[in-house]
Chains A and B, each alone.
Chain A
């Protein structure tokens, strides 16, 4: 393990006290397999450090029991570990109150939960749900389902060619019966970092609530839901070094307490009688049934790991890597970047003239470089750019310049094959 950074609490990023080479040792997949790939698909899912793998294994090996129900010590220990994970994850995103953090199956479920509880309860016919052109399908389709059931209407904030939101148009949309804004914090295709704090303030001025899809932000930058000023914040564990099948939803206590429950079952109730049941307090009201205990504990370990690295350092290292990657990729003839926002995270979408992204992906795979190709669950965004697909390299703090070089060399090979 590497040394903890010392500059905690300051705003500006202290100079990095570690580099990718140091942290790669923590990720078995990066060195234990026969021929490691240059893994550049971090926006799809991140790799897992030993600490996370060990935490889930430790739970199954020595603390496995169901939670919130047994009087015996093992169950108490499991419950404590699960709830300790909640405290850590809540703190990691700046939640003022740990009971405001609901564990879900992932970012998709978090968004669906809001649509099917708060949404069904609050949206009226003709009211507007404001999305943006760059949303992931998981921040579009739940709202379409909700619109079908309530008669609410979906509006879309347009973007510029560079991939930045048109805030003037957003302002305009807010004046027309806006009830909810659902926007991604960072685009999983363009890397655009959206100005959430400003957008939240604007939404609230018009009496609308705002949900932020934080799937791509929590893994790559410091996140504080208080500073963002949003009403709902959804994210996925597996993109932030945690296990699959676990994610989170944050909302302030007042909103959560007023919301109807999501699924019915064990744990979410206070009393059950056939004449009617009463609900448990938050967060349990939204966690019916046996949750993903190992997943939550693993996510707690992931948060410990990332906190130890310091998210400001993570963002700093990734920004350096992004700059290097963009510079190197510019040397590839016929390569066009898709997305050029001023405020951008380490996601690089591109096309190569005359070569389909899937052919790029297959050839790079042969060169042991893993990137994602396709529409990235953002078909409306592909339509905006009039392309069927892009190739996407998404970087994490454990990537190195050598990974970028492998990508660049691989792309030269792609061009050779099609020459």
Chain B
């Protein structure tokens, strides 16, 4: 069994308690809602784009520590990236969460997001960590439907 600290790393606790970019953005270019029906977590994501580059990302909502910290850190991570770069980042993030640690995949570029590696040991919590990212995908598709983890 892994240590709880592997899941609830200090960075995660810190982002849960003081989420960054935690505010609505009335003049957002893109907006989507995310919902995890299993736990009732809801979040709203707001994006501002310049060409295909994300210049601003904020969110609001209520969720567990993992989903809140993930949303907070995602908004920081995607800011300044192109849409393609953000999508690639999600791909790597997903691999980080779901692939056994010994399988040698390159996850370069995840940087701070690597603190979510502990989620791997808690399969039922993977959806908490990916909720914000699914919502990002929905927002980028200009999809006003709710992104769902189920």
Chain A positions within 8 Å of B, measured between CB atoms, are 354-359, 362-363, 366, 373-375, 379, 382, 388-389, 417-418
Q: Contacts A356-B63, A417-B8, A418-B13 hold; do A362 and B38 have CB atoms under 8 A apart?
A: no
| A389 close to B4 (CB less than 8 A) | no
Q: Contacts A356-B65, A418-B13 hold; do A388 and B41 have CB atoms under 8 A apart?
A: yes
| B4 close to A417 (CB less than 8 A) | yes
Q: How many residues of B contact A (CB 8 A)?
A: 21
Q: Which of A358, A363, A366, A388 has the most CB of B within 10 A?
A: A358
| A388 close to B62 (CB less than 8 A) | yes
Contact residues in B for A418 (Cβ distance below 8 Å): 8, 13, 16-17, 65
Contact residues in A for B42 (Cβ distance below 8 Å): 388
Excluding A362-B122, A375-B40, A418-B65, 9 further A-B contacts by CB distance (< 8 Å) are A355-B65, A358-B66, A358-B128, A366-B4, A373-B39, A374-B39, A388-B62, A389-B40, A418-B16
Q: Which of A354, A356, A379 has the most CB of B within 10 A?
A: A356
Contact residues in A for B13 (Cβ distance below 8 Å): 417-418
Contact residues in B for A388 (Cβ distance below 8 Å): 39-42, 62-63
Contact residues in B for A379 (Cβ distance below 8 Å): 40
A-facing residues in B52-91 (Cβ within 8 Å): 62-66, 68
| B125 close to A362 (CB less than 8 A) | yes
Distance, CA A38 to CA B43, complexed state (A): 33
In the complex, the 7 A-B pairs of residues with the closest C-beta atoms, listed nearest first: A388-B40, A356-B64, A358-B64, A359-B65, A389-B40, A358-B39, A366-B4
| A362 close to B39 (CB less than 8 A) | no
Q: How many A-B residue pairs have CB under 8 A?
A: 50
| 7 CB-based A-B contacts, threshold 8 Å | A356-B68, A358-B66, A359-B8, A375-B40, A388-B39, A388-B63, A418-B65
Distance, CA A175 to CA B63, complexed state (A): 42
| A359 close to B38 (CB less than 8 A) | no
**Which listed residue (B4, B17, B125) contacts A358, Cβ 8 A?**
B125
**Which listed residue (B1, B38, B65, B125) contacts A366, Cβ 8 A?**
B1
Distance, CA A362 to CA B121, complexed state (A): 11
Q: B139 an interface residue at 8 Å Cβ cutoff?
A: no
Q: B140 an interface residue at 8 Å Cβ cutoff?
A: no
Distance, CA A378 to CA B68, complexed state (A): 23
Q: B7 an interface residue at 8 Å Cβ cutoff?
A: yes
Distance, CA A374 to CA B17, complexed state (A): 21
Q: Contacts A358-B125, A417-B13 hold; do A374 and B38 have CB atoms under 8 A apart?
A: yes
Distance, CA A389 to CA B35, complexed state (A): 13
Distance, CA A123 to CA B17, complexed state (A): 52
**Which listed residue (A357, A362, A373) contacts B7, Cβ 8 A?**
A362
Contact residues in B for A382 (Cβ distance below 8 Å): 40
Contact residues in A for B125 (Cβ distance below 8 Å): 358, 362
A-facing residues in B95-148 (Cβ within 8 Å): 122, 125, 128
Distance, CA A21 to CA B97, complexed state (A): 42
Distance, CA A375 to CA B35, complexed state (A): 14
Distance, CA A148 to CA B16, complexed state (A): 42
Contact residues in A for B64 (Cβ distance below 8 Å): 356-359
Contact residues in B for A366 (Cβ distance below 8 Å): 1, 4
Contact residues in B for A358 (Cβ distance below 8 Å): 39, 64, 66, 125, 128
CB distance from B56 to the nearest CB of A (A): 27
Q: Contacts A374-B40, A382-B40, A389-B40 hold; do A363 and B4 have CB atoms under 8 A apart?
A: yes
Distance, CA A286 to CA B1, complexed state (A): 48
CB distance from B96 to the nearest CB of A (A): 18
Distance, CA A80 to CA B25, complexed state (A): 69
CB distance from B27 to the nearest CB of A (A): 28
Contact residues in A for B39 (Cβ distance below 8 Å): 356-358, 373-375, 388-389
CB distance from A376 to the nearest CB of B (A): 10
Residue of B nearest to A360 (CB): B64
Distance, CA A24 to CA B68, complexed state (A): 40
CB distance from A361 to the nearest CB of B (A): 9
